Structure 1
Amino acid sequence: MVRRLKLAIGAVAAVGVSAAASHGQEMVEVELTKLDGTTMTRTYEKPRYGGTITMNREILLVSFSNWDPRGGGGPHELANVQITNQRLSQLDWARGASGTNDYPNFVAATPPLYTTGLLAESWTYPNDTSMVFKMREGIHFWEKEDVAQANPGLEADYGREITAHDAEWSKNQMNFFQQGQPGAVKWTALDDHTLELSWPTPDATQAGFNFSQYAFIFNSGMQNISQDEWGDWKNALGTGAYIPTDFIPGSTVTYKRNPNYWEDDPIHTDNRLPYADTFRIVDFDDEASIIAALRAGQIDLTNGLGSSGKWGTQLKETNPEIGQFPAAATPAVWVPRVDLPNSPFSDIKVRQALMMAIPRDEIVESFYGGAASPYAYPTFPNFADWFVAYDDLPTEPTLPGSCASAKDVVTYNPDKARECLAAAGYPDGFDFDLWTPPGEAEFNELYQGVWNEVGIRANLNVVELAVWQSVKDRDEHLGLTSWTPGMWQDPFSMLINSLHSNATINSARVNDPMYDNILAIVEQELDNEKRIAAWQEFFPKALEQSIYPTGVAFDKLTFWNPWVKGYSGEISNVGIQGWHSLAKIIWIDTDMQPGG
């Protein structure tokens, strides 16, 4: 007998059961509706409850110790709350890699086409300067008896319904959302279940919606306890699938299943999430340790690996049973301080020399095994309408002080690199400091070698994440800091986050009208053809200028052991920086798992 169930996203699932399965596991057939309205059937192992999921922390993240709603520089500094405090919307899991495969795995914050509700069940756009979220009713914060240690100041908030007022309060606390584009969007609770987002002028980038996907919703009752207590994990109070039970800073976080969680599996719609009884995040910083733990079965899955270019190839040979999937194309970026005249990298010719010293095609093939793109700045090639292909790049310089064209800077030419260095006043090259976090050390050693050949001699400093962050964003350094930002979620990420004069992560201290002018077009021009034309004119200029010098953009990989089920390599199920939130939807075959 086949039962048909209507999914929240509007798709229709049909479930049938067969006796045949690997390892004796019962199989189910699920009929799913694709985005274009056609249907498809996939066969899955029938999910089972129980067991423990152990996941390495999202290695893109800076902080593994922050529980504070103010959240520092953004959602990447709130790794621990991805699974405890939810967002308004999420990616449509049933139309991703584990479902109909309608959207590619690199999709994070955009486009809204692939997004469905989480704490919000729906949203509308009443006009060009606002949107209204309808909050789900009946979603409650954790009960008092389920948290590790109740706080008397939160007595009224345990077990109560989450409201739009909690969302408004949360947005107004998180530091990241008070500046730049996020700060221009105002969140207003119109009533308990209606949240309005508004912004000053029409915005073609849909920044209001995009940034809403970054924001975790906390309990506004936190304002009734001392702010000194906000960062104490025992005071965490969310609506998420898992509740923290133990926290060892810099080591592990342990969570238990929320017994009153409200959400159903979007594919197996009769099943209430989550599946695992226990969820653990462990903190490994370097890729070698992560791979060793994965091979030993000490962790079940991990993401963001591949900066060294070797792990995917190695594991295919040594551990073919370990799944792997390209999770996110990631650029190798170096951050100078272009506002400091005594920095050699404030000179466009030096940045261009740095670029031309890189044998891009060779690195793509020999270092990354083809899983990379020669260049992806200022937009990734997967955005075909916005990216300018190599053959279409200008062949002559167009900018003041430039010694190379846009095509030149992404063409390996060490002789021309030396000419540009000499023209900049460095005929013998120069020495500089290069700071990198541990996870990016190996590929920086590669670039250190190729730059040395033209006389740009890097003193490589491998430092802890906190030190690296301080140098990149706060110190007046004269060198470069390595960076692998998430530029792949929309065509304008680098511009919006790091290039215009009021960008929230303007680590290079860029102040050039070219970027502010194109931002105005991207945000305000509602004719998409005109936006594309303006961007394609801007693209080669940004590449020629190379404010942020870039290397090859490589695919970071997710890896998972064979006992991880209901999973196809996704990097997130909610949007950007949502790796840990996957724990609510995957399940563990405890018969296969060591010690299970």
Structure 2
Amino acid sequence: MKKLSVPIISLLLILSLLVISCESETTEKVIEDEGDDKVIITETETGEKITETVQQPGMRDPSEPKYGGTLIALGGDPQGFDAGIMQSIMITETRIMNEPLIIGDWSKGPAGTGELDWQLGHMQSMSYMRGALAESYEMPDDETIIFHIRPGVHWWNKAPMNGREFTAEDAVWSLEREWANPKCWPQASNPPGQRLISVEALDKYTVECKVPPEVQGLLLLYNGWYIQMLPREVVEMYGDMNDWENVVGTGGFMLTDYVTSSSLTYSKNPDYWSNDPVHPENPVPYMDKVKLLIISDSSSQQAAFRTGKTDMLANVSVEDWQLFTEQNPDLNYTPTLPWIPTFPCGRLDKDLPFNDLRVRRALNLAVNQAEILEDYYKGHGAMLGYPFVPSQSMSDVYVPLEEMPESVQELFTYNPDKAKQLLADAGYPNGFKTEMAANPAEVDLLSIIREYFLAVGVDMEIKVFDFGAHFGMKKGRTFSEMIMADTYPYGFPNMHNVRPESASCPCSWGSDESRVAYNTVQQYLCKDDEKVRQAVKEVVPHILDNAWGVWLPIRNLYWMWWPWVQNYRGETNFGHISTHLYRNYIWVDEELKEAMGY
């Protein structure tokens, strides 16, 4: 049996507001000691903070846990509240209320050992996970997964659950319900033969899942840390749990108010089962409330943050980050990379020029990636961001561009003359015309790409669709010729982009080599991390060399927060799309906020 225990780790007092960036080159640090109240550490060449301790005279130490207070952040109108009847990836706000059986281990992140930054999830090693509603799991053979439910966990004290204990029967019902719904991700992303076979409660605290042996590790992840546990009695009473007033969970925060297009308010669950993994003597959550303001306009979002009406701001551009930090040096921030980088690609399942590898390589050589990185992204980003991004969480499988074979490195050089020659060799001496399906947010970048393509004779017409229609075209593969493909580095076990049967493989590219790698990953996932890493790293150059997409640089974005938000260092996602769970472990210093005039 593998026990998901929580290590006891002491948080160093000086590391109160640690901001890290594994992809940025740092200069020599100079430490200036100003007595007991403040420690200053110099910044990197790009202006990123490395370490800062802010303790004003008369104020409490930022690293000291504090109870009470309200976090005010931004949110959006959820598409629903019942994760069992829709793609729960689209309603991440429910995860702090309806928990999975297993979650990421907060103590493995910056607050503890620093093994991960918890910005982009992790590479699915169970060593980074800990028990949530299940305190442990085991795989006694290659077709069985057993979850041992944590005794003493209770649903909220709200009708119709009324605080009853969470049991194995609840887990069985939740797993069966989500796997049975074709609209939900488990069935949608796993073809027949790779789905849950059966699940039953062996006793009050034991759940047994039967699974196909070839995807045992993958289904451990799906059943363990993807599927949310939902209350059966609520669904039986109301038909579903989509009405926010009917929501009941086991999580640390309870949804107590929702005003459409205005705000969501969560209140602390006084009976929450968990303690802080870094401070195991402390029950969590620390904060009394979380309030999410629904502000659609970007300028209004920035104004609310600038004036201290909100405590955090996500996905800040380089230009806005520079302006914010110039205006208020007290702000804290961390750079991050996009969860889902996108790249232009053409369909390979139709009689189109993209079927010829020479054409695909020509399109890469036609684009000046270095110029895009320096001019369009202001030098804040990375040249290579697929199939993994250069983050701490993916460092075990990320291969830097300079370590790639020459044929891969060539794809990141600007060589329009060779691009023209390759097009001529492929039978297109005068280029060709094509169509790109785009959403409104992609038009600016694609307009730049279009000019590069025109220089080698490829006339790409950009057709703009609204976000919903564009997403449907991408998943249904109904676009005519080209589209901006989503990539999913954080969900690599599925290797969606290189499996034509996946809805997340819009160009329909795959190869024998990528299939062997996929099969190896499935064989050893959650069993032998080193074999998984080796299989992935070995196939990456092959995938890039086949140029199914036009490999573009990826840009940095910034997460920013005020100093009164403490024990936070930019964590966004620990587990699988487990956004917002960090709110259980951070605290707000209301005294500091008032002292700063907000």
- TM-score, length-scaled by structure 2: 0.79
| Structure 1 match to 2:170 | 166
The answer to whether the Cα contact below 8 Å between 2:412 and 2:551 also exists between their aligned partners in 1 is no
Q: How far apart are residue 204 of structure 1 and its match?
A: 8.5
- The whole-number CA distance in structure 1 between the counterparts of 2:367 and 2:297 is 25
Q: Residues 534 and 161 (structure 1 numbering): CA distance in 2 closer, same or farther, change over 3 Å?
A: closer
- The whole-number CA distance in structure 2 between the counterparts of 1:485 and 1:298 is 34
The answer to whether the Cα contact below 8 Å between 2:434 and 2:482 also exists between their aligned partners in 1 is no
Q: Residues 165 and 481 (structure 1 numbering): CA distance in 2 closer, same or farther, change over 3 Å?
A: farther
> Quick check: 1:200 aligned with 2:212?
yes
> Quick check: 1:436 aligned with 2:439?
yes
**Runs of at least 5 residues in structure 1 that lack an aligned partner in the other structure:** 1-6, 28-43, 145-149, 396-404
Deviations, residues 124-178 of structure 1 (Å, cap 9, x unaligned): 232333332221111111112xxxxx5xxxx3x2311112222222223331112
> Quick check: 1:356 aligned with 2:365?
yes
- The whole-number CA distance in structure 1 between the counterparts of 2:63 and 2:528 is 47
| Structure 2 match to 1:124 | 138
| Structure 2 match to 1:115 | 129
| Structure 2 match to 1:582 | 582
Secondary structure class of the residue paired with 1:582: helix
Q: Residues 280 and 13 (structure 1 numbering): CA distance in 2 closer, same or farther, change over 3 Å?
A: same
- The whole-number CA distance in structure 1 between the counterparts of 2:294 and 2:472 is 21
The answer to whether the Cα contact below 8 Å between 2:401 and 2:409 also exists between their aligned partners in 1 is yes
The answer to whether the Cα contact below 8 Å between 1:347 and 1:424 also exists between their aligned partners in 2 is no
Which residue identity lines up with residue 586 of structure 2 in the other structure? I
| Structure 1 match to 2:428 | 425
- TM-score, length-scaled by structure 1: 0.79
Q: Residues 390 and 267 (structure 1 numbering): CA distance in 2 closer, same or farther, change over 3 Å?
A: closer
Give the count of matched residue pairs: 542
The answer to whether the Cα contact below 8 Å between 2:345 and 2:484 also exists between their aligned partners in 1 is no
The answer to whether the Cα contact below 8 Å between 2:335 and 2:556 also exists between their aligned partners in 1 is yes
| Residue from 324, 327, 330 that aligns with 2:333 | 324
| Residue from 16, 20, 26 that aligns with 2:60 | 26
The answer to whether the Cα contact below 8 Å between 1:83 and 1:581 also exists between their aligned partners in 2 is yes
| Structure 1 match to 2:153 | 139
Q: Residues 302 and 497 (structure 1 numbering): CA distance in 2 closer, same or farther, change over 3 Å?
A: farther
| Structure 1 match to 2:495 | 496
| Structure 1 match to 2:107 | 94
Secondary structure class of the residue paired with 1:25: coil
Q: Residues 588 and 508 (structure 1 numbering): CA distance in 2 closer, same or farther, change over 3 Å?
A: same
| Structure 1 match to 2:305 | 294
Which residue identity lines up with residue 47 of structure 1 in the other structure? P
- The whole-number CA distance in structure 1 between the counterparts of 2:63 and 2:397 is 40
- Equivalent positions of 1:357-506 (< 5 A) are 357-380=366-389, 386-391=397-402, 393-395=404-406, 405-422=407-424, 423=426, 425=428, 427-436=430-439, 438=441, 443-460=445-462, 464-474=466-476, 476-483=478-485, 485-487=487-489, 489=490, 492-493=492-493, 496-503=495-502, 505-506=504-505
Deviations, residues 454-490 of structure 1 (Å, cap 9, x unaligned): 4445555665542332222125112443355441x37
| Residue from 86, 99, 103 that aligns with 1:72 | 86
Q: Residues 472 and 192 (structure 1 numbering): CA distance in 2 closer, same or farther, change over 3 Å?
A: same
- Equivalent positions of 1:512-591 (< 5 A) are 512-524=511-523, 535=536, 538-572=539-573, 574-591=574-591
> Equivalent pairs: percent with the same residue?
26
| Residue from 2, 8, 13 that aligns with 1:11 | 8
Q: CA RMSD in A?
A: 3.6
**Runs of at least 5 residues in structure 2 that lack an aligned partner in the other structure:** 15-35, 38-54, 179-183
> Quick check: 1:216 aligned with 2:228?
yes
Q: How far apart are residue 586 of structure 1 and its match?
A: 1.6
| Residue from 117, 123, 126 that aligns with 1:104 | 117
Secondary structure class of the residue paired with 1:22: coil
| Structure 2 match to 1:84 | 97
- The whole-number CA distance in structure 2 between the counterparts of 1:99 and 1:86 is 22
Secondary structure class of the residue paired with 1:315: helix
- The whole-number CA distance in structure 1 between the counterparts of 2:126 and 2:312 is 28
| Residue from 168, 174, 184 that aligns with 2:195 | 184
> Quick check: 1:50 aligned with 2:49?
no
Deviations, residues 15-54 of structure 1 (Å, cap 9, x unaligned): 999x964252333xxxxxxxxxxxxxxxx43233333212
Q: How far apart are residue 79 of structure 1 and its match?
A: 2.1
Deviations, residues 236-295 of structure 1 (Å, cap 9, x unaligned): 110111211232445532222222222222233333222222212234567555434322
Q: Residues 390 and 206 (structure 1 numbering): CA distance in 2 closer, same or farther, change over 3 Å?
A: same
